[in-house]
Structure 1
Amino acid sequence: MDPLLLGALVAVATIGVLFSGVSVALGLLIVSGGFLVAFDGMRSLELMPEIFFGKLDNFALLSIPMFIIMGASIASTRAGADLYEALERWLTRVPGGLVVSNLGACALFAAMSGSSPATCAAIGKMGIPEMRKRGYPDGVAAGSIAAGGTLGILIPPSVTMIVYGIATESSIGRLFLAGVIPGLLLVALFMAWSLYSTWRSGEASVLSAGRYSWRERFEILPRVLPFLAIIVGVLYAMYGGVATPSETAAVGALLCLVIAMVIYKLWNPKDLWVVLRDSTKESVMILAIIAAAGVFSFMLSSLFITQSIAEWIGTLEANRWVIMAAINVFLLIAGFFLPPVAVILMAAPILLPIITSAGFDPIWFAVVLTINMEIGLISPPVGLNLYVINGIAPDISLRTILMGSLPFVACMIVAIVLLCLFPGLATWLPDLVMGPSV
């Protein structure tokens, strides 16, 4: 059978299996095993266990559960509420300072926790009622928190970037650095839209109403600065050549647990058990998807599907930006239905040879891909963040939350366009710190 036609059959089968409700990892194994047996015989099944467990034989994978524990320990405390309150106290005199402080808190908490739903829940529980009380439109209040929560998969340390680095054999340190400036760009775009929307609504009461003394501003800082210091320390250890990402993630996880116990009195063994239990569940889920995606990639390669698609793309006389636009549409649609980790692991083996042959930088492409995944987090039908916000503020309709999120989707699209026009936004900092990529 023609490999391109076979690739189309694999795509249809994969979509059908994943929509049946089975887990992503099991679905990938079912599709891989089925096509390998059908076109390569029963002997191919002997290789599946070796490939499955061999994919997990990677020291860099240790950073995933460590960063997840790091985020879970932060999310289990009042760190999000304290971070929000600290920014509110310092920005209270700034016009529209409350929405700015909410987005800033989302960006910082997302960077600390790496979890989009946790960010929405932690910041939204305090931020949304406070913004509504001061006259912010419901759409701005809900949409800004939903969008701000997505920043965790772009601003380092990011589990999504780690997964991309492992899938494409790219430098994780370089990927982390590549997400810094685009992450700050997105925060700036989000803030600009929120302030414009607030000004356009004509609500005078949205100017920050609270007044805090300098004593009140400084007394909140000891609760949040240690967490921020850990993030800075983790990044310094990686880029200063002190330790590998896995080693720094392990130290960061331990320090976050200690700080949660000391500052927030997380002494109860039941609370600590919940942190470790939830971290283990999420880690196992991600690692299972990584292992299954390795088998899926082997199936695509052994049936010459990946090679044929890359060769076919290479024969097209289309402009490379047309190809990139088509890839962005594909990623956008995939992100509507699948979690970012699954999309990266499934798409990377196919897309990497295409983008490199078209002359695109894989590090730059990682940022573009991640922003596409962010859009999926606030877009139906899955749109996880939309449902988290609806759970926090059930009196705000899902439609209002969605409409409030759409302008932020437009901001993300603008960011992708800016990255296409100015690739240095993603590549300049990695090249500056780590030297030009070879």
Structure 2
Amino acid sequence: MDPLTLGGLVALATILVLFSGVSVAVGLLIVSAGFLIVFDGMRSLELMPEILFGKLDNFALLSIPMFIIMGASIASTRAGADLYEALERWLTRVPGGLVISNLGACALFSAMSGSSPATCAAIGKMGIPEMRKRGYPDGIAAGSIAAGGTLGILIPPSVTMIVYGIATETSIGRLFLAGVIPGLLLVALFMGWSLYATWKSGNTAVLSARSYSWRERLEILPRVIPFIIIIVGVLYAMYGGIATPSETAAVGALLCLMIAMVIYSLWSPRALWVVLRDSTRESVMILFIIAAAGVFSYMLSSLFITQSIAAWIGELEANRWVIMFAINIFLLVAGFFLPPVAVILMAAPILLPIITTAGFDPIWFAVILTINMEIGLISPPVGLNLYVINGIAPDISLRTILTGSLPFVACMVLAIIILCVFPGLATWLPDLVMGPAF
């Protein structure tokens, strides 16, 4: 059978299996095993265990559970509430300062935790009621938190970037740096739209706020500054050549646990057990998907599907930006139904040779891919962040949350366009800190 036709069958079978309700990892293994048996014989199954466990034989993977523990220890405390309150006290007299405080808190907390749902829950529990009390429209209050929560998979340290780096064998350090300026760009676009929408609503109640004394502003800082210092320290150790990503992640996880215990009195064995239990579950899920995706990639390569698709794209006379547009549509649709980690691990083996053949930078493309995944987090039918917001503010309808999130989706699309016009926004910082890649 022609490899391109076979690739279409693999795509169709994968969609059907994943929509059947099985987990992503199991679904990938079922599809891989089925096509290998049919087209390569039973002997191919002998290699599957070796490939499955061999994919996990990578020291860089250690950083994933460490960063997850780091985020879980922060998410289990009042760090999110304190971070929100600190920004609210400092920005309270700024017109529209409350929505800026919420988005800023989302950006910082998502950078510390790396979890979009945790960010939505931690900041939204305090931010949404306060914004509504001050007169902000429900759509802006809910949409800004839902969109702000997505920043966790772009702003470093990002587990999604680690997964992409492992899947494509690109530098994790470069990927982290590549997400900094685009992440700040998204924050600026989110803030700009929120302020415009607030002004357009004509509600002047948002300008009235309590005035805080300098003492009240300063007394909250000691509770949040240590976490920010850890993030900065982790990044400095990584880019200063002091330690590898895995080593810095381990130290960061330990320090975050210690600070959570000292500042927030997280001494209870039950509380610590919850942090470690949840971290282990999430880590195992991600690592299982990585292992299964390794088998899936082997199947695609063994049946010459990946090579044939890359060669077919290379022979097309279409403009490379037309190809990139088609890739973005594919990623957008995939992100509507699947979690970011699954999309990256399934799509990276196919897309990497295509984008390199078309002359695109894989580091720059990682940012484009990640923003597409962010859109999926606030878009139906999955849209995890939408349901988290609905859970913490059940009196706001899901339709209102979705309507409030759509302008932020437009901001993300605008960010992708800006990055296409100015790719240096993603590549300049990695080249400056670590030198040119080529």
Bin for the TM-score computed over the shorter chain = over 0.9
1:79-228 aligned at under 5 Å gives the runs 79-228=79-228
Shift of 1:208: 4.5
**2:273 matched residue in structure 1:** 273
Amino acid at match of 2:400: T
Is the CA contact 1:94–1:208 (under 8 Å) kept in the aligned structure 2? no
1:381-392 aligned at under 5 Å gives the runs 381-392=381-392
User: Which structure 1 residue ranges, 4+ long, deviate > 3 Å from structure 2?
Assistant: none
Aligned residues: 438
- Percent identity reads 89
Is the CA contact 1:143–1:401 (under 8 Å) kept in the aligned structure 2? yes
Is the CA contact 1:98–1:208 (under 8 Å) kept in the aligned structure 2? no
**2:410 matched residue in structure 1:** 410
**1:426 matched residue in structure 2:** 426
- Structure 2 gaps of 5+ residues are none
Shift of 1:265: 0.3
TM-superposition CA deviations, 1:168-211 (whole Å, max 9, x none): 00000000000000000000000000000000000001114111
**2:290 matched residue in structure 1:** 290
**2:363 matched residue in structure 1:** 363
Shift of 1:93: 1.0
Return the alpha-carbon distance in structure 1 between the equivalents of residues 283 and 207 of structure 2: 42
Is the CA contact 1:142–1:389 (under 8 Å) kept in the aligned structure 2? yes
Return the alpha-carbon distance in structure 2 between the equivalents of residues 208 and 59 of structure 1: 53
Is the CA contact 1:97–1:208 (under 8 Å) kept in the aligned structure 2? no
Return the alpha-carbon distance in structure 1 between the equivalents of residues 393 and 28 of structure 2: 36
Shift of 1:335: 0.2
TM-score, structure 2 length as denominator?
Answer: 1.00
Query: Tell me, what secondary structure is at the counterpart of 1:396?
Result: coil
**1:13 matched residue in structure 2:** 13
TM-superposition CA deviations, 1:244-299 (whole Å, max 9, x none): 00000000000000000000000000000000000000000000000000000000
1:62 aligns with 2:70: no
Return the alpha-carbon distance in structure 2 between the equivalents of residues 367 and 427 of structure 1: 10
Return the alpha-carbon distance in structure 2 between the equivalents of residues 284 and 198 of structure 1: 42
1:240 aligns with 2:240: yes
TM-superposition CA deviations, 1:373-427 (whole Å, max 9, x none): 0000000000000000000000000000000000000000000000000000000
Q: Aligned pair in 2 of structure 1 residues 323, 264: CA closer, same or farther (>3 Å)?
A: same
Is the CA contact 1:99–1:191 (under 8 Å) kept in the aligned structure 2? yes
Amino acid at match of 1:182: P
Amino acid at match of 2:144: S
Return the alpha-carbon distance in structure 2 between the equivalents of residues 381 and 280 of structure 1: 28
1:219-368 aligned at under 5 Å gives the runs 219-368=219-368
**1:72 matched residue in structure 2:** 72
Query: Tell me, what secondary structure is at the counterpart of 2:224?
Result: helix
Amino acid at match of 1:117: P
Query: Tell me, what secondary structure is at the counterpart of 1:211?
Result: coil
Return the alpha-carbon distance in structure 2 between the equivalents of residues 316 and 211 of structure 1: 62
Return the alpha-carbon distance in structure 2 between the equivalents of residues 291 and 262 of structure 1: 37
Is the CA contact 1:96–1:208 (under 8 Å) kept in the aligned structure 2? no
Amino acid at match of 2:303: L
RMSD of aligned residue pairs (Cα, Å) = 0.3
Return the alpha-carbon distance in structure 2 between the equivalents of residues 303 and 320 of structure 1: 26
Return the alpha-carbon distance in structure 1 between the equivalents of residues 322 and 208 of structure 2: 45
Amino acid at match of 1:409: V
Shift of 1:327: 0.1
Amino acid at match of 2:346: M
Return the alpha-carbon distance in structure 1 between the equivalents of residues 241 and 309 of structure 2: 39
Query: Tell me, what secondary structure is at the counterpart of 1:56?
Result: coil
